[in-house]
Structure 1
Amino acid sequence: MSKFAPHRKSYNNPRPSSTTICQKCLQPGHFIYECKSTRPYVSRPSRTEMLENPRILAKLKADGKPSVEVPEEFKKKSGTANKILEAKEKEREKDKVVASDSKSRKKARRYGESPL
């Protein structure tokens, strides 16, 4: 058979039925590659609207507790990071005291007073 000769109609191509729904225009009767219309706007609820829905909120608030249980060791404020932060806060307080003492000594020297 020549490539220029007319081809026979293929019988294995699917034909759209009345129950076939186009995924682009959401209308029945044709496939998406045959569609000539535009895609319609379909509004969906936003995440906020979904969370404001009373049915969903009821599910979230049913227990009254968080969905994940936090172990006691993590609830305590004795972690390594907290210890480091406490040490740095103490150093800052010491630096403030030293800085205020040095400023008062400089002022005393300017005005001819004794530093102590």
Structure 2
Amino acid sequence: MSKFAPHRKSYNNPRGTSTTVCQKCLQTGHFIYECKSERPYVSRPSRTEMLQNPRVLAKLKADGKPSVEVPEEFKKKSGTANLILEAKEKEREKQKTTGSDSHPKKKKARR
């Protein structure tokens, strides 16, 4: 047999069996590249619905601690942005009381 002879069909074109499940239409008997039907709509639960499941909640409470440790600065309700704004307001008040630099310095224009 020549090395240029066509190969047997069973090697080039595998056939789907009754246990083969198409990933597009979720039916059995063919592969996705042979599929001629439309993709069906599959509804999945949202994250909220999953967390409202009592079994999932029981599992989370049984662990006792969160999966990720949260830093102290994020546990505060004020938040990082509020801390930055408070610091800037204090800086402005300090500048008003000292009276220095009532006009901000102008930057020189580059040519």
TM norm structure 1: 0.50
Is 1:11 equivalent to 2:30 in the alignment?
no
- Cα-Cα RMSD: 3.8
The offset of 1:38, in angstroms, is: 0.8
Percent identity for Structure 1 against Structure 2:
65
The offset of 1:54, in angstroms, is: 1.1
CA-to-partner distance for each residue in 1:6-35, whole Å, 9 max, x for gaps?
x77623121111111111111111111111
CA change 1:90–1:28 in 2 (3 A) is closer
Q: Distance in 2 between matches of 1:60 and 1:53?
A: 11
Q: Indicate the SS of the match to 2:15.
A: coil
Q: Distance in 1 between matches of 2:63 and 2:14?
A: 52
Equivalent runs, 1:53-92 vs 2, <5 Å:
53-69=53-69, 74=72, 85=86, 88-89=89-90, 92=93
Q: Indicate the SS of the match to 1:59.
A: helix
Pairs aligned (count): 84
CA change 1:17–1:64 in 2 (3 A) is closer
The offset of 1:68, in angstroms, is: 4.5
List gaps (5 residues or longer) in structure 1.
Answer: 1-6, 98-116
Which residue in the other structure is 1:49 paired with? 49
Which residue in the other structure is 1:103 paired with? none
CA change 1:34–1:54 in 2 (3 A) is same
Larger radius of gyration: 1
List gaps (5 residues or longer) in structure 2.
Answer: 1-5, 77-82, 98-111
TM norm structure 2: 0.52
